[in-house]
Structure 1
Amino acid sequence: MALVLQQLGMSGVLQAEHCAQAKAQIEQVGCIDILLCDLGIQGADSLQFLRWSSQAGMVKAVVQCGELEPELRRGLGHILALMGVRLLGELEKPLEPQLLQRVLKRYSHRRQLPRLLVSNLQDLPSEDDVRRGLALGEFRAWFQPKFDMQSGALAGIEALARWEHPSRGLLLPEIFLAAVLAYDLIDEMFKQLLEQGLGMLGMLRRDGVSLELAFNLHASQLAHCELIDEIQHALRRHDLPGSTLLFELAENGLLDMQFTTLESLLRLRMMGCGLAIDDFGVGFSALKLLCQVPFNQIKLEGECVQNLWDPRSRAVVNSTLALADSLNMSVVVEGVSSQRIRNELVHMGCKYGQGFYLARPMTGRGLRQWLDGVVNR
């Protein structure tokens, strides 16, 4: 395997016969990108090793080499997701170089993004740096369109947080969000992004374009009512109805939902705002939440659609569509990364989609230029 990896152009290939040896080698080099191993052979030791490496931020992705029972395979995918480690795929033995290369490309494809600086997750920004960035307006809203994939029409936009850092470049939330939460500055960042997003909606409205704008909210932000009051006041300042906003919440963050959180969600719906359960299919609480919280949209996690030709993946998509239809909810599929995936989703009856194949995130100016091109096309 090491020889094949080197032939494929991979550098810095480390080899270990067991978990203890792997841990010692990783501690020496500091961090590795991809771990290739047979977790079935390593047994329970492998789970302890994965927990250690994920907590230390030392392994970013895993390739399972060897067959696992279906229930073990599903459990492995869930536990890696909870650890924050990506499961790139599974390969049967003997390993075929072409299949190995295809799986490894999934890692590079997700990370080779233009003008983005990806740094070590352990290297969190300091509180002073975050506060300075907020004071100077360095946190900016970028916008990614959503589409009606059946008609090709634009269905809305999602505001995504970016930090335009003066020395580190453009930073993604995976670099700074943990720090913003730890320093209790998430509301301050959100209010800046909300103001930018509502300002963008106002400019688009003057251009004759009306769109729904989605924001991500962390469950901790809903524990108090003050933020909902801020959202209501901001809508009034910009003379916009609540129906122009949709808020996306990851299901894992709502596992231990407090009364005040549910009250905040109900207030948002009563204001006319939409609510989407984000990353559907990753956590374990979704069905209970759909019964308790007035969500009107499901965002299906992108990993669920990367291999639509696998019966299990198709089952997830079909069951989500059926569930949403029975609850009178819409479904937005994330991770539409190729025309083949888009076409297959449309064939399966999916309507709304979002992903790099359809449109990448862009600045506010970039969005207006992009919209001009769409209108003039």
Structure 2
Amino acid sequence: MFPDCVVVIEHHAFQRAVLVKALSNLGVGRVLSASDAEQAIGLLKELPKVDIVFFDLADGSINHSAFLKVASEMGNVQTLVAYSELQADLYRAVRPMKTLSGLKLLGILDKPLNMQDLQRLVANFRHRHQVQSMPDLSVPELIPEEEVRHGLAMGAFEAWYQPKFDLVERRLFGVEALVRWSHPTRGMLLPRDLLGAVLAYDLIDEMLKQLLDQGIALLMRLRAQGLDLGMAFNLTASQLVRNELVEHIIQRLQEHDLPGSALMFEVAESSLLDLPASALANLVRLRESGCGLSIDDFGLGFSSLRLLAQLPFNQIKLDGVFVQDLADPGHRAVVASSLALTRALHMDLIIEGVGSQLTLDTLIELGCNFGQGFHLAMPMSGTDFCYWLERYQNRQGLGGGPGTLK
């Protein structure tokens, strides 16, 4: 089997076990694991050759420079795969790795890891081994800090809104605010294009505050017209530890006499493990203020039932990957089990990625009540959303062709 030997360094036992199992299923000959750098170095000393070393850049127990220096000196590590929840961690840490003699970077991955990315990396290793060539992979360049700061200062970061629907009642009940940046030379930038830079320069709070102000202004206009919609924003785990940001959110609600229930904050499932006490306290503060809390990208992380029961979330968003092929019994089982879980925990389940009428019909048949996706409505600028909303109200719901409501 090839690769012949892979070492996984991951301090979280369950995530480590899942990654080991996934690599084994992909045909890796031997998969060894370590909980920390010291244990990994012990393994490396006993192995004549290691094809790939996987490690988490966000793992504070690993001194990356020291570990990679030792691994380089041993000379038996062929390639590295680095992964992290935050793109900024990857950008900051990958460049020094590429300067370490004898070590080659096979790839960098965002958490949560998925089988498709792992399969791609393993296939890439096999191909490069066959052609006896392993050039370093280029690391995407960050947008320069001065450009990001200028864009924020000019108010160029814009909230776009994707509607969310009650699928059964065919009713719009809220929107998710998503960032867009119409860059003067780079064109329209999506979250995947700009978040790495925003995180790297620690400007994520400033960006959220601007999106929050835009979103609240829209909510107030709609309320003046008698429309009571909710709005969701994305939060990172790093933001949850900042008391000032939570104070800002609560203050904005009070200034506009807006109930906390008007806002929902979505946090990726993969970031919920090992949350510090300060982050948990701020989650509670947001819930006590009436704000909703949603576990985003559910199904791609490693949450335990105990964790879900303990955290103050009231909504789960099932990742769209599970509804792309609902003819697959496994995918249908994931949806059904997620429904049962949320009902048992007295939470709402929202399905992401509703991309076709067939998917919509199947989800309703399975008992799903809430969803969003391109088939229902695309993300829109504030102006376009208001035009869309007027047309939606005239149509009185989803009707027979939600794909036309764009």
Asked whether the two chains share a fold, i.e. TM above 0.5, the reply is yes
Contact 1:141 1:363 survives alignment (8 Å): yes
Alignment counterpart, residue 192 of structure 2, candidates 159, 168, 174 = 174
How big is each residue's C-alpha offset from its partner over 1:87-106, in whole Å with a ceiling of 9 and x where there is no partner? 6999xxxxxxxxxxxxxxxx
SS of structure 2 residue aligned to 1:125: coil
- Give, in whole Å, the separation in 2 of the partners of 1:185 and 1:264: 20
> How has the CA–CA distance of structure 1 residues 89 and 313 changed in structure 2, closer, same or farther, with 3 Å as cutoff?
farther
SS of structure 1 residue aligned to 2:52: helix
- The equivalences for 1:148-187 within 5 A come to 148-187=166-205
The residue number in structure 1 matching 2:303 is 285
Contact 2:111 2:270 survives alignment (8 Å): no
The residue number in structure 2 matching 1:367 is 385
How big is each residue's C-alpha offset from its partner over 1:69-98, in whole Å with a ceiling of 9 and x where there is no partner? xxxxxxxxxx996347846999xxxxxxxx
The residue number in structure 2 matching 1:48 is 52
The residue number in structure 2 matching 1:229 is 247
Alignment counterpart, residue 161 of structure 2, candidates 137, 143, 148 = 143
Contact 2:235 2:265 survives alignment (8 Å): yes
The residue number in structure 1 matching 2:112 is 82
The residue number in structure 1 matching 2:264 is 246
Equivalent AA in structure 1 for residue 370 of structure 2: Y
Give unpaired runs (5+ residues) of structure 1: 1-17, 21-38, 58-78, 91-119
Equivalent AA in structure 2 for residue 146 of structure 1: K
- Give, in whole Å, the separation in 2 of the partners of 1:201 and 1:88: 41
> How has the CA–CA distance of structure 1 residues 231 and 121 changed in structure 2, closer, same or farther, with 3 Å as cutoff?
farther
SS of structure 2 residue aligned to 1:48: strand
Equivalent AA in structure 2 for residue 156 of structure 1: G
- Give, in whole Å, the separation in 2 of the partners of 1:360 and 1:331: 20
> How has the CA–CA distance of structure 1 residues 301 and 40 changed in structure 2, closer, same or farther, with 3 Å as cutoff?
closer
Contact 1:335 1:355 survives alignment (8 Å): yes
- Give, in whole Å, the separation in 1 of the partners of 2:51 and 2:330: 24
- Give, in whole Å, the separation in 1 of the partners of 2:230 and 2:51: 43
- The equivalences for 1:111-122 within 5 A come to 122=140
SS of structure 2 residue aligned to 1:371: helix
Q: CA deviation at 1:321?
A: 0.4
- Give, in whole Å, the separation in 2 of the partners of 1:88 and 1:369: 42
Q: CA deviation at 1:287?
A: 2.5
Contact 1:80 1:86 survives alignment (8 Å): no
- Give, in whole Å, the separation in 2 of the partners of 1:199 and 1:293: 30
Alignment counterpart, residue 334 of structure 1, candidates 352, 358, 374 = 352
Q: CA deviation at 1:123?
A: 2.2
How big is each residue's C-alpha offset from its partner over 1:117-160, in whole Å with a ceiling of 9 and x where there is no partner? xxx97121111111111111111100000011112110210000
- Give, in whole Å, the separation in 2 of the partners of 1:300 and 1:47: 35
> How has the CA–CA distance of structure 1 residues 141 and 286 changed in structure 2, closer, same or farther, with 3 Å as cutoff?
farther
Contact 2:114 2:300 survives alignment (8 Å): no
Deviates most, 231-240 or 43-52: 43-52
- Give, in whole Å, the separation in 1 of the partners of 2:51 and 2:324: 25
Matched, 1:207 2:225: yes
Q: CA deviation at 1:289?
A: 2.7
SS of structure 2 residue aligned to 1:82: coil
Contact 2:284 2:312 survives alignment (8 Å): yes
The residue number in structure 2 matching 1:104 is none
- Give, in whole Å, the separation in 1 of the partners of 2:141 and 2:305: 36
TM-score for both structures, normalised by structure 1: 0.71
Give unpaired runs (5+ residues) of structure 2: 5-24, 32-49, 56-78, 88-108, 121-137, 396-406
- Give, in whole Å, the separation in 2 of the partners of 1:121 and 1:173: 17
The residue number in structure 2 matching 1:76 is none
Alignment counterpart, residue 271 of structure 1, candidates 282, 289, 294 = 289
Q: CA deviation at 1:191?
A: 0.3
Contact 1:121 1:175 survives alignment (8 Å): no
SS of structure 1 residue aligned to 2:227: coil
Question: Pairwise CA RMSD of aligned residues?
Answer: 2.9
Contact 1:280 1:286 survives alignment (8 Å): no
Q: CA deviation at 1:271?
A: 0.4
Contact 1:216 1:249 survives alignment (8 Å): yes
Q: CA deviation at 1:254?
A: 1.9
SS of structure 2 residue aligned to 1:374: helix
- Give, in whole Å, the separation in 1 of the partners of 2:264 and 2:279: 16
SS of structure 1 residue aligned to 2:380: coil
Q: CA deviation at 1:50?
A: 9.2
- Give, in whole Å, the separation in 2 of the partners of 1:19 and 1:80: 22
Taking only the aligned residue pairs, the percentage that are identical comes to 50
Equivalent AA in structure 2 for residue 231 of structure 1: I
Contact 1:156 1:213 survives alignment (8 Å): yes
Larger radius of gyration: 2
Equivalent AA in structure 1 for residue 266 of structure 2: E
SS of structure 2 residue aligned to 1:176: helix
Contact 1:296 1:329 survives alignment (8 Å): yes
> How has the CA–CA distance of structure 1 residues 177 and 270 changed in structure 2, closer, same or farther, with 3 Å as cutoff?
same
- Give, in whole Å, the separation in 2 of the partners of 1:47 and 1:351: 47
Q: CA deviation at 1:325?
A: 0.6
